[in-house]
Amino acid sequence: MKVSKEIMKESIPFPSVERLTKLFSLLQSVKKEGKEKISSAELGTLTGFHAHSIRKDISMTEALEGGKDGYVLEDLKNVISATFDFKKKKRVCVVGLDMFGAAMLSNPDAGSSEFEIAAGFDSNTNRMEIISTNVPLFHVYKIEEKVRELGIEYAILAVNPENAVKSAERLIAGGVKGILNFSPIIIAPRNGVQIRNIYLVEELRLLSATLRSMSRSAQQQCCDT
């Protein structure tokens, strides 16, 4: 159970990883507005996180001296990017090309990010012929082969519930490292493959459940002065 000091230093707690990832996305938009510096308090207002947490998160990445008016936006972006290797291009595929999947295929945001949508898969050949896209499309039987061949690391799973598990298995067999599962089935993590389950109805339920449970409804609602 013991881990050496050096390795420990690398290990950033998951909640911090989450916040830093969000900050990174946020910084992209703020940058467009021409801002050059930004303080932890401002970041707090924009995200709803405590400024304290933000500072601590940032201090976990790399030495980065914040000047008088806060962090240099560009530096901060670079540090987060370096910590998680956000600059490296990564290939993604979309499995299941009904309306939702097709929308993912042509998602303009992905194109301007480090993620390149490199393939689409579906079990319905007729449907694939109708879709107009530059992304190469294949039958789901070819998932394992093409994922390996094209070096695809991540997958967006948007198939119906019956096929979700089988598709996930094919993706894992092909060697993907992470799956974003939008189908209404929870896929349990396995073999070190990261899986995030995002199911529309469940997200709505979570909203309503959170409102109901008074618990930490104050959760992310305040920020530093």
Centre a 10 Å sphere on the Cβ of residue 156 and count the other Cβ atoms it contains: 23
- DSSP states along 170-188: HHHHHT-SEEEE-SSSPPP
Answer for which of 18, 62, 74, 145 binds its own copies (CB under 8 A) is 18
134 binds, among DNA, its own copies, none (CB under 5 to 8 A by kind): none
SS3 state at 190 = strand
CB of 41 to DNA, least distance (A): 6
Residue 180: exposure state from Cβ atoms within 10 A (0-12, 13-18, ≥19): middle
136 binds, among its own copies, DNA, none (CB under 5 to 8 A by kind): none
Answer for which of 5, 99, 132, 134 binds its own copies (CB under 8 A) is 99
Q: Is residue 203 involved in binding DNA (CB under 7 A)?
A: no
Q: Is residue 52 involved in binding DNA (CB under 7 A)?
A: yes
Q: Scan residues 125-144 and list those touching its own copies (CB under 8 A).
A: none
104 binds, among DNA, its own copies, none (CB under 5 to 8 A by kind): its own copies
Q: Is residue 31 involved in binding its own copies (CB under 8 A)?
A: no
Q: Is residue 178 involved in binding DNA (CB under 7 A)?
A: no
Q: Helix H segments across the chain? A: 5-10, 14-32, 40-47, 51-59, 73-84, 99-105, 108-111, 125-130, 143-150, 161-174, 200-212
Paired tokens of 224: 């530093």
CB of 30 to its own copies, least distance (A): 10
Distance (Å, whole) CA 159 – CA 11: 34
Q: Is residue 184 involved in binding DNA (CB under 7 A)?
A: no
CB of 186 to its own copies, least distance (A): 5
Centre a 10 Å sphere on the Cβ of residue 119 and count the other Cβ atoms it contains: 22
Answer for which of 156, 157, 159, 168 binds its own copies (CB under 8 A) is 156
